[in-house]
Amino acid sequence: MQHIINQVFEIENKIKETDKALFTRNFERLYHEFEQEGFMVINPLGQRYDERDVAIEANILNENGSDLKITKVLKPTIYKQEGTHRALVQKAVVIVE
């Protein structure tokens, strides 16, 4: 399932900004289905870089290290809910600058 989620995420990101509205419902539906299977997908794009956030694997470009933000997401964060317990199954792979 993890690979399927990554593919969906890639497809979503390939769609041009201007065409995105056309597909919103379809992607909402897909992520809804993943959630039904217990997978929570989080796209951390635009978030401030936080060294405590171990759900992301950051590639940091900015050497001076101030006001860092996630500018590109290659893979999203995925959590899996098993009963009452939630566990991280994939770290997001991101670029920070």
Partner 1 sequence: MENINFGIDLGTTNSGIGKFESGKVNIYKNPVGFREVLPSVVAYRNGRILVGDKARELTTMQPEHVFSSFKRKMGSEHNYFVSAINEHKTAIDFSVLVLKELLSFAGTPKPTAAVITIPASFGTVQSNATKTAGYQAGLEEVVLLQEPIAACLAYANTQNLSLDQEKKWLVYDFGGGTFDVALVRINHRELRVLDHEGNNFLGGLDIDNLMLEHLFCPVLEQKMGITNLWKQMVGADAPYYKLFVELLYKAEEAKKELSLKEEVFVELDRPDGFIEFSISRQAFNQLIKQKVEETIKLTKSLLAKNQIEDGAIERIVLVGGTTYIPYVRETLQQQFNTLVDSSIDPSTAIMVGASYYAGTKNRQPKEIKTESPTAAPAVPAQEIKLVYEVNSQDAEELVTGVLANNFSGYYRLTRTDGGFDTGLIAFHSKFNEFVKLVPKAINQFQLRVFDKYQQMVLEKNDISINHGLYNISGQPLPNDICLEIDDTIGTTYLERIFKKNDTLPLSKKIYKTASKTIMKGSGEQLVINVVEGLATASPASNVCIGYIEISSEELPTNLLKGTDIEINFKVSESRDLIIDIFISSIGLEINQVFNATSRQVSVRKIQAELENALQKIERDGPDLIDTDSMAQMLEELRITIIELLEELIHLEDDFITDKIYNLDERKIKLLQQVDSLLRNKELYVEIEEYQSLKAYIREHLLLKPDLKIDQVFQTAIKNEAQFLNSGQLSLIKAKIRDLHRLVREIYYQNDDSYIELFYQYAYIDADNYQDPNKLKVLIERGQTACTKKDYAEVKAIILQMYNLLKVKPEDSLKDQNGTLGLK
Q: Residue 65 CB, nearest distance to partner 1 (Å)?
A: 5
The torsion region of residue 46 among left (phi > 0), alpha (psi -120 to 50) and beta comes to left
Return the closest-CA partner of residue 42 out of 27, 30, 55, 26: 55
For 29-42, letters b (16+ CB in 10 Å) and e give ebbeebeeeebbbe
Of 11-70, binders to partner 1 (CB under 8 A) are 13-14, 25, 28-29, 32-33, 40, 42, 50-55, 57-63, 65, 68
- The residue (of 19 and 32) whose beta carbon lies closer to partner 1 is 32
Q: Residue 92 CB, nearest distance to partner 1 (Å)?
A: 10
* Cβ-based neighbour number of residue 70 at 10 Å: 21
Q: Which residues in this chain contact partner 1 in the complex, by CB under 8 A?
A: 10, 13-14, 25, 28-29, 32-33, 40, 42, 50-55, 57-63, 65, 68, 72, 74, 77, 79, 85-89, 91, 93, 95, 97
